[in-house]
Structure 1
Amino acid sequence: MSTQTSAADAAATIAPYATGLAGVNQSVNMKFKDFLWWSLGILALVVLTVRLLEIGWSKLRHVSAMSMPAREQGYWKVSQWSWMPSLKKNLIYAPFWRKRHNREIRISSALNVGTLPSRLHSVILGLYLLSNIIYMFYLDWSESNRYALAAEIRGRSGTLAVVNMVPLIILAGRNNPLIPLLKVSFDTYNLLHRWMGRMVVLEALIHTIAWAFVQVAAAGWSSFNEKILHETFIASGFGGTIALLILFFLSLSPVRHAFYETFLNVHIILALIIFATTLIHCASASLPGGLPQLPYMVAIFILWFSERLARMFRLAYNNWSSRRGFTEAVIEPLPGDCSRVTMHLPRYLDVGPGTHAYIRFMGVSPWENHPFSIAWVEHHPNDADRELHREKSYSNSALRKGTTSVSFVIGAQTGFTRQLFDKASISGNSSIRVRAAMEGPYSGHHSLDSYGHAVLFAGSTGITHQLSYLKPLIQGFNDGTIATRRVTLVWVMRDTEALEWVRPWMDEVLRMPRRRDILNIRLFVTRPKNSKEIVSGSSTVQMFPGRPSISTIMQREVEQQVGAMVVTVCGPGALADDVRQAVREVQSTENVVDFIEESFTW
């Protein structure tokens, strides 16, 4: 009799809170949904406002300074706002702690635990994570029925998990429209994506545990097993949580870095499983029209499918033409375990400086694609225009009817890049030709044209990113269309073999008219094989043994500063951190020094 009574009590006081919206404070859930989306939207509007102000200010500086000689750009050299240098030094450009930012934290040669976010990124992430925790646990803790409280936790965590999936999927895409709109790098969005994903996993796990707690109390473990195996609503939700947990453990930095190519493919499959099971979970609830979160899951599927569709169309447009066929890549093995890759696209493609693209090759892990900085771009007129214009000067309209060649330098590390180099090396020829595909270009939203002074730091193959700026800057200087009057390129390389990577392009840069008036090149060879290799070609192209003192170089450039200065860096994390630190050291009201870092953290 007592057993029957306790079962009846459980059915009356516990079971109603196991499913449905009993005990769920749906009105508060929707308020927190609005708070979360509005806070992210307001953040985007703030960034957009700042970007519009920056664009307007740089346009004003560009127009007013492009006709000025170097000595007359003093107005733009001095900071117009006394608080800006301190803000740059202590927040915008500051690493999370001390100096380390993009230098990887390694436990051993095989274990990499990733990088630290910047101070500004840490503030944004901290506010986001804290707000989710507050929303999660803003509950009626005075509720005496702990199963009713568990139901409220279940409803809140489930709502937040789905609500967070919407920005999670937006920030994951390469074709994210916020990248060009807000001029924020994909690298930053990828950081936010990783942390949003972790929050979704935590909220989904809490959601599942809260349901299991009530279900087991109401009907025992046998009922729990029955539901996760045979009831569509519960089985889909439980399956989605398991997939999220698997994805979480695979995404941990040591695992992700050790098996990155495998992780990428598994990540896509698991993400699709998670979206599908969550959609089924929301649609199969015993409520009219399913759970209230069902429209969000439909939106997530549309966003995910649209981004994949955009990538597919972009890939097809770039690499196939009915008249010229498919893209062909010429791969040249070079000293220093590097490959120089030139992709001959079958159509004209507008490629700006500072861009990168994802590339893949037939016969070299064709399912894999990786990002590489674009070093050089050549536009070719079609055959008819070549006959009409035998000189090498062609109109823009003629070039737009032709084709484009895009070049990269790819260092052979492991996996895909090593296979590429080995394939070219064992052929016995100076180069090989394979069918290939390029997706992009991406990024390239940082213009240097409004700055009177540009300092470009490159480490190893990072020269490709900086090289892409040289020709446009020198040409713009000759045409009188930019404000830049001084460009300093600092390239840190292991040995002089690296010069072969970019020799044909650098020779063309060095032959450009008035190059000596604007460009200074400083080459630092950290491990020269022979001291006789260290030869300075002229006062504007100098070579030095050993590692450079970044701080000394920056101080010297500031002493000779022309107008506003921009400092960019592309290379290993340690070099990027040194340049970041040096830029912070020279911040003052007496000069304007902006900093741009090109990185692919993963």
Structure 2
Amino acid sequence: MKLAYLISLVLTVLPFCHSLVLVDSTLASACIYYELQYDWGCKSHSNGMKAYACRCANINWLGTVTNCIKNNSDSKRLIDHALRHLSTRCLQKGNFHYTVDDLYRFAENGTHYMRDPTEQDRTVTVNTTLNVNQTDYDWYYKKFKDYTFSVERSQWFGWGLVFYWAAIIGFATFFNICKRVLGHPFVNNRLKKHLVLPSTFRDYRERTYLLCNVLPLNFQTRLNGLVVAVFLILTIISCGVGYELTLPHPYLTTRWYANLTLVSYRTDLLSISLFPVIYMFGIRNNPLIYISGISFSTFQFYHRWCAYTCVVLLFIHSIIWTVYAIHGGGGYKVWAMDSYWNWGIAATTLSVLLVFHSEKLIRDLAYEVFLVMHQFMNIAFIIAMYYHCVDLGWLGWIWAMAGILCFDRFMRILRIVISGGVHTATLTDCGNRSVIKMVMKKPKYFKYVAGSHAFIYFLSPTDSWYYFFQSHPFTILTDPEEDEKNPDHLVFLFKANKSVTKAMLKKILKSGKPTVTCKVLLEGPYGVTLPKRVKDNRKVVAVSAGQGVCAVYPHLRQILSSNQTGEFRHKLVWIINDLSSLDWFGLEIKWLRDRQCDVTILYTKADDRDLESSSLESEVKESKHGVKRLYCRPNLQKLISSEVEQASKESVDLTILSCGPASFNDDLRHSVVSSMNCDLKISVDLEEESFTW
């Protein structure tokens, strides 16, 4: 797996190859445009398609240009490169298949007929090979050298955005190594309180805020918001500086056209440079998660904002060339005849659709549609960009993007194969027609740590065909009655919400049996980062709501199994609104209590129907598990403050684990931030497991 991660990192440097094609040879461009001043019998002094094809068929023009190239450089490498440039242009413009050796022969043949140019050659067809006026040529060369530098500068601005994200990953990796390997976190309570933990907008972190009750907005922490804000500022600066090309110019004949061209190059090279970043941040098998410790949900946040920025830049690029085609390029219909133009329109349209249908509101309403469409449109976008750039250059970025996507798919298949392929899983309704318990045999080579999760594919020929394309992440649990270090089975507890999980519940209920079997594919484990090399002496308080207990339990189990208890007791606070939850998680609760973990279960449901139906069985269940009735939601602020105060009295550092619905996680995060006073002598950490991204 680690070797595969290294392969993915290599894919990100592919853009170094073939970065420039259209303006890659200053030598060739200067010679080609220098010779435009003479009449070669093509009834044009421009570089249009017909005129270019006409000149490529003219042996006198070929002899003149190739001799210009040979005589103005002492480097065989530069000469060969310039001749390849000329060969490519003749192939693209006129379908002439000239090799470099052919062009050398044209140059050799032309030396026998060379003469100095005259003023008459500008209006009368030239029927021989012309020498170069060195003074005139030097001006052309300088202008194209400046132009090439301007384009290369745009490319380096694009690399600047890539290097910015590389720096962010580098800093995160440094702090991750310091924390997990060296035991020096370097982040104090003040930074956590004011930068690392709080949301950028009030206490909205996982919940969606409706602006004017219409526009849905999602927010991240201040730290992640700052990272994105700096990225946006760098992008704006990169778009607005460094335009120093002066006129007159043999190619950029007017200031209007020069501005359009240079801004277009800048925006498209900035956007295309972000392609590998967007795809690397968005894939499931992102190796940067392992080394940096940045969560998958945070990478998804970066992924979306890079995509937003990229689409805006692509849109500006498209608008610029549309305006030029209509007002200065001979009319839109002329440009629309070129295939690269149409592929560019397709790529821009696909990029807008990819961003629009990826919004959380769309994902929540129709996740299956989002999943299938996102996969197919990603492939279509890569194809469209390839055909758009195949004649223009910069294919290295496209290959990097395609390579990252293929790497992710390869790693998914590899994980499934290593995990044993198709498995038979036992599905059990936990009694409340809501939670399903899935148990399967643990594959031999399936190694996981606390907090890991796996993606499950449900294979059922009787269900909807598109269910196969879905893979849902579930936290991996260990049966309390099995050995923690060498379990025989994998246990998953998940809520039958909608889509395929709802279909599995219907399958159980329809069978009339307590359990059914189902064929599944297991892909994982995920959620693994650098292993801790230092022993933590921290008190852990896990606060969970409902199904969230499945995410915090493995961490507590690992700590208690390794005897990392110190002079204090770890604690679990589980908030439920359905007593049947005790049926499907009762054994795990007993396991924790047997190992001196302080378990508090808070029951919050208090409607009349519940009170009337309170039976002897429920009372026994409450008494057995020590359930406390609150009849309302608990005061998380008071709960967290008391835990921080208690840890402070014990002079022990505190880690708070949390997992639950979006509103619960947001309230708890806000409570932790509010409880961290500047004069606090202990370190307080928040580790949050989230169901949303």
TM-score bracket, normalised by the shorter chain, equals: 0.7 to 0.9
Letter in 2 for 1:303: I
In structure 1, which of residues 484, 487, 490 is the aligned counterpart of residue 570 of structure 2?
Answer: 487
1:556 maps to: 642
- Residues 214 and 351 of structure 1: is their aligned pair in 2 closer, same or farther, counting only changes over 3 Å? same
CA gap 1:189/1:435 in 2 versus in 1, 3 angstroms: same
Task: Give the match for residue 543 of structure 1.
Answer: 628
**Counterpart position of 1:374:** 476
Partner of 1:164: 274
Match of 2:538 in 1: 452
Paired residue for 1:577? 666
Deviation at 1:10, TM superposition (A): 13
Question: Against the structure 1 CA distance between its residues 112 and 258, is the aligned structure 2 distance closer, same or farther, given a 3 Å change threshold?
Answer: farther
Q: Are 1:593 and 2:684 matched, yes or no?
A: yes
Establish whether residue 49 from structure 1 lines up as the match of residue 174 from structure 2. yes
Report the Cα distance in structure 1 between the residues aligned to 2:324 and 2:193, rounded to whole angstroms: 52
Distance 1:496 1:295, change over 3 A: same
Query: Does the 8 Å contact 1:163/1:296 carry over to 2?
Result: yes
Q: Give 1:23 shift.
A: 6.3
- 434, 437, 440: which one pairs with 1:343? 440
Seen in structure 2, the aligned counterparts of structure 1 residues 30 and 107 have a Cα distance that, compared at 3 Å, is: closer
Distance 1:237 1:52, change over 3 A: same
Identity rate, percent = 21
Contact kept in structure 2, 1:454 and 1:484, CA below 8 Å: no
Give a deviation string over 1:80-138, Cα, whole Å, max 9, x none: 98x822211111001112212112335899x8935311111110111111211221222
Counterpart contact for 1:328–1:433, Cα < 8 Å: yes
What does the per-residue CA deviation read over 1:428-467, in whole Å, with 9 as the maximum and x for residues that have no partner? 1001001111211211548796143111111111111012
Q: Which residue of 2 aligns with 1:36?
A: 161
Whether the 8 Å CA contact 2:433–2:505 is kept in 1: the answer is: no
Please show how residues 369-518 of structure 1 align to structure 2 within 5 Å.
369-376=471-478, 399=486, 404-445=488-529, 450-477=536-563, 483=566, 485-510=568-593, 512=594, 515-516=595-596, 518=597
CA distance in 2, matches of 1:234, 1:506: 63
User: Residue deviations 1:497-517, cap 9 Å, x none?
Assistant: 12122123334444x4xx23x
SS at match of 1:486: coil
In structure 1, C-alpha distance between the alignment counterparts of 2:387 and 2:351, rounded to whole Å: 15
1:319–1:239 distance in 2 versus 1, CA, 3 Å: same
Q: Check whether the contact 2:418–2:445 (CA below 8 A) recurs between aligned residues.
A: no
Please give the secondary structure, in 1, of the residue aligned with 2:387: helix
What residue is the counterpart of 1:327 in the other structure?
423
Q: Structure 1: which 5+ residue stretches go unaligned?
A: 1-7, 61-79, 286-290, 321-325, 381-392
CA distance in 2, matches of 1:197, 1:123: 17
- Give the secondary structure class of the aligned counterpart of 2:357: helix
For 1:227, which of 331, 335, 349 is the aligned residue? Answer: 335
DSSP 3-state at the match of 1:543: strand
Contact 1:169 1:304 in 2 (8 A): yes
Equivalent in the alignment of 2:419: 318
Q: Which residue of 2 aligns with 1:272?
A: 379
Shift of 1:537: 6.8
> Aligned partners of 2:495 and 2:211: how far apart in 1?
24
Give a deviation string over 1:51-92, Cα, whole Å, max 9, x none: 12212453x8xxxxxxxxxxxxxxxxxxx98x8222111110
Name the stretch that deviates more: 458-467 or 530-539.
530-539
CA distance, structure 1, for counterparts of residue 221 and residue 527 of structure 2 = 20
Q: How many Å apart are 1:535 and its aligned residue?
A: 6.9
SS in 2 for 1:329: strand
Say whether the 8 Å CA contact 2:159–2:273 is kept in structure 1. Answer: no
> Structure 1's 577 and 137: CA in aligned 2 closer, same or farther, altered over 3 A?
same
Query: Which residue pairs with 1:131 in the alignment?
Result: 234
Tell me whether 1:174 sits opposite 2:284 in the alignment.
yes
Instruction: Give the whole-Å Cα distance in 1 for the aligned partners of 2:195 and 2:211.
Output: 28
Structure 2: which 5+ runs fail to align? 1-42, 52-91, 94-143, 247-253
2:504 counterpart letter in structure 1: L
Deviations 1:564-584 (A, max 9, x none): 110011111111111111211
TM-score by length of 2: 0.70
Counterpart of 1:93 in structure 2 is 197
Asked if 1:304 is matched to 2:391, the reply is: no
> 2-side partners of 1:56 and 1:179: how far apart?
16
Counterpart contact for 1:10–1:218, Cα < 8 Å: no
Give the TM-score, by structure 1 length: 0.80
Residue 368 of structure 1: how far off its partner (Å): 1.0
Query: Residue type of the partner of 1:356?
Result: H
Q: Residue 319 of structure 1: SS of its match in structure 2?
A: coil
Larger mean CA deviation between 489-498 and 552-561 belongs to: 552-561
- Equivalenced residues, count: 531
Q: Specify which structure has the bigger relative contact order, considering alpha-carbon pairs within 8 angstroms and separated by 6 or more residues.
A: 1
After superposition, the Cα gap between the structure-2 partners of 1:219 and 1:455, relative to the gap in structure 1 and judged at 3 Å, is same
The one-letter code of the counterpart of 2:523 is E
What is the Cα-based RMSD across aligned positions, in Å?
3.3
Aligned to 2:40: none
Secondary structure of 2:657's partner? strand
Q: Over alpha carbons, which structure has the higher Rg?
A: 2
Mapping of residues 256-271 of structure 1, within 5 Å = 256-271=363-378
| Paired AA for residue 372 in structure 2 | N
Match of 1:357 among 423, 431, 454: 454
Query: For residue 418 of structure 2, what is the amino acid of its counterpart?
Result: Y
Q: Which secondary structure does the structure 1 equivalent of 2:216 belong to?
A: coil
State the Cα distance separating 1:540 from its structure 2 match. Answer: 9.1
Q: Give the one of 99, 109, 120 matched to 2:223.
A: 120
Please tell me whether the aligned partners of residues 290 and 528 of structure 2 are also in contact (alpha carbons under 8 angstroms). no
What CA distance in whole angstroms lies between the structure 2 residues aligned with 1:416 and 1:54? 39
The CA deviation string for residues 211-235 of structure 1, in whole angstroms up to 9 with x for no partner, is 12212223444xx23533x423222
For the residue of structure 2 that corresponds to 1:211, the secondary structure is helix
Q: Is contact 1:336–1:498 with CA below 8 Å preserved after alignment?
A: no
1:340 is paired with a residue whose SS is strand
**Would the aligned equivalents of 1:331 and 1:424 in 2 still touch at CA under 8 Å?**
yes
- The one-letter amino acid of 2:676's match is Q
In the TM superposition, residue 409 of structure 1 has moved relative to its aligned partner by 1.6
Measure how far apart 1:544 and its partner are.
Answer: 2.7
